[in-house]
Amino acid sequence: MEMIGRLSECVLLSYRVPARAVEQLLPPGLELIRRGPWAFWGVVVCRVTGMRPAWAPRCCGMDSLMIAHRLYVRAAAADGQSLEGIHFLRSFVNRRSIAVGANLWGDFHFQYAPITLRGESDVTVTAERDGERSRLCVTPCHETTLQPGSCFASTQECQQFLRYQPLGLSVRGRWLRTAE
């Protein structure tokens, strides 16, 4: 089902992780995008405004906050084409109705959780689930330097490699499923 909405106030974090530590999280048919022994775990926190089925009038749109954990992956399509994108491992949304609906229509693995997003220059995200509270504080850094031991030779190489691929990839049975 085609959904319409606008993403705003996004924070996108990418972490390198040992590929062997996360490869078992993928269903058969998907493979990690690697750089040497490393895979990449992404966390996105965003505000979504006006989310609704494409056929629904604008007044039916709902606003929400979402947090998604995903891995950068690739898969082979039936025509042999290699597709790169992200595989959603777990997602949280602050509206129960969106969690239920999104799980019926897609493979985003949504769970309901109260989420708050505050700040303009420094961003603080708080989420609570099953009595556990998580808090993430992000201070933008305008300096573009690599951390010691980076698997990239330059910040440009890093940015190119980790460029956001707006294609969700999942597998159900023998079927590769995509979400743009």
| pLDDT, tens only, 130-178 | 777 777 787 777 677 888 889 999 989 988 988 877 888 988 888 888 8
Q: The whole model's pTM is what?
A: 0.83
Average pLDDT over residues 6-28: 90
Of the candidates 20, 122, 131, 8, the one whose C-alpha atom is nearest the C-alpha of residue 66 is 8
pLDDT score at 17: 95
The single-letter code of the amino acid at 156 is: Q
Distance (Å, whole) CA 146 – CA 97: 41
Would you state the pLDDT for residue 1?
66
CA–CA separation, 96 and 26 (whole Å): 26
Residue whose C-alpha is closest to residue 89's, from 115, 68, 103, 72: 68
Task: For residue range 91-108, list pLDDT tens digits in order.
Answer: 889 998 888 877 666 677
For residue range 48-101, what is the model confidence (pLDDT) as tens digits? 999 888 899 999 999 999 888 999 999 998 898 999 999 999 888 999 888 887
